[in-house]
Amino acid sequence: MRVLVTGAAGFIGSALLESLGRKGIEAVGVDNFSAYYSPAYKLARLQHLGFPLDSFPADNSHSSTLNSKLTLSSQFSTLSFVRLDVCDRSAMGALFVRERFTHVVHLAAQPGVRRSLTHPYDYLRNNIEGFLTLLETVREYPVEHLVYASSSSVYGTNSKIPFSESDPVDRPESLYAASKRSDELMAHVYTRLYGVPATGLRFFTVYGPWGRPDMAPMLFGRAIMEWKSIRVFNHGEMKRDFTYIDDIVGGIEKVLFGGWKQEGPHVYNIGHGSPVDLMEFIGLLEKCLGREAPKEMLGMQPGDVPLTYADTSALAADYGYRADTPLEEGLRAFADWLKDYRKDG
């Protein structure tokens, strides 16, 4: 067994790579260190996994050829990493020929609903062209299972709750959501035409240590620690299906190694299944960090939605998925990590 993890310097990708390493599973991570947020923060995630920082210059160049050597982790003997842009067709093909992957988790993408309103071409290239390159590569060099990241954003302003895989997803509220729905459709085509064993996971709001710095949990946590005000959109009238990172990683692994379900839906929700009021989330985080922040109450942002709520019954039935981490327990772990990270930084 040999696993490829794309987007391995990202939040979910680095957590998955660590989990695979702890289990002794051979895995190769790739990432292009895009400058959407600080490449130095992404490098710090890799350093946490035992990869030497001097192996990855923190510039934004993209190599057109595959580096000859993988960088090995000093902490996990089964983990390695190479800097690579998944849109690079020749480099991706060379990597598959050399490494002979059996499983793939595709997490590389341009994230961010709000940024998609101002940088649309980034989403076309990274989310659609990048995934197409991967699908073509897997078509040429078959694997046992390809698991790829979709998003709860595909549901748009769906009024039926909880969100179910059978709900209509033809009215996205952002280009980011449209790009993720496009990925699902492309995967469906490659499954039907070429037998690519692809399964998509619609992630709901993920939080935890090493989280994305542009996401609400990190923005709130940093503001609370720095005695700054928190920007609260839609005047706090929002609910999110906050899901702890360990539950997400565990779910990915259950799907990846549980085998492709030929008769399954091929796209699943993965979340906690219990939406939380935004103000309750903020209050619990303030409690965990031991201080309270002033609130700047603002209107709804374009492209955003007031509620996300995952029906995870299909994933539970087909793969035995459960999200076991209570919100306060997850926030306590996140808060403890954030305090240590800021102290060390």
Q: Number of helices (H) and strands (E), helices first, in the chain?
A: 11, 14
193-215, pLDDT tens digit by residue?
A: 999 999 999 999 999 999 999 89
Which pLDDT score is estimated for 257? 98
Which pLDDT score is estimated for 273? 94
Indicate if the pLDDT at residue 65 is higher than 60. Answer: no
- Strand 295-297 relative to strand 243-244, pairing: unpaired
Q: How far apart are CA 218 and CA 245, in angstroms?
A: 13
> Of 93, 99, 101, 97, nearest to 64 (Cα)?
93
- pLDDT class for 64, splitting at 50, 70, 90? very low
Q: What percent of the chain has pLDDT over 90?
A: 80
Neighbours of 276 (CB within 10 A): 17
Least confident of 10-14, 80-84, 286-290, 297-301: 297-301
Indicate if the pLDDT at residue 62 is higher than 50. Answer: no
Residue 38 in tokens:
């600080």
Q: How far apart are CA 323 and CA 120, in angstroms?
A: 33
Q: How far apart are CA 190 and CA 343, in angstroms?
A: 47
Q: What are the Cα distances from residue 255, in Å, to 18, 20, 92?
A: 17, 14, 23
Would you call 176 a catalytic residue per the annotation? yes
Q: What is the mean pLDDT of the chain?
A: 92
Range 78-88 average pLDDT: 95
Which pLDDT score is estimated for 58? 52
Range 103-110 average pLDDT: 96
Neighbours of 30 (CB within 10 A): 24
> What is the architecture, at CATH level 2, of domain 2-204+243-271+311-323?
3-Layer(aba) Sandwich (3.40)
- In degrees, rounded to 5, the angle at the alpha carbon of residue 251 between the alpha carbons of residues 249 and 254 is 115
224-265, pLDDT tens digit by residue?
A: 999 999 999 999 999 999 999 999 999 999 999 999 998 878
> Of 225, 201, 203, nearest to 213 (Cα)?
225
Is 308 within 8 Å of 274 (Cβ atoms)?
Answer: no
Output 135 or 53, whichever has higher pLDDT.
135
Which of the following is catalytic: 36, 155, 176, 190? 176
What's this model's pTM, rounded to 2 decimal places?
A: 0.94
Is 266 within 8 Å of 199 (Cβ atoms)?
Answer: yes
Q: What are the Cα distances from residue 96, in Å, to 46, 127, 259, 337?
A: 22, 20, 20, 36
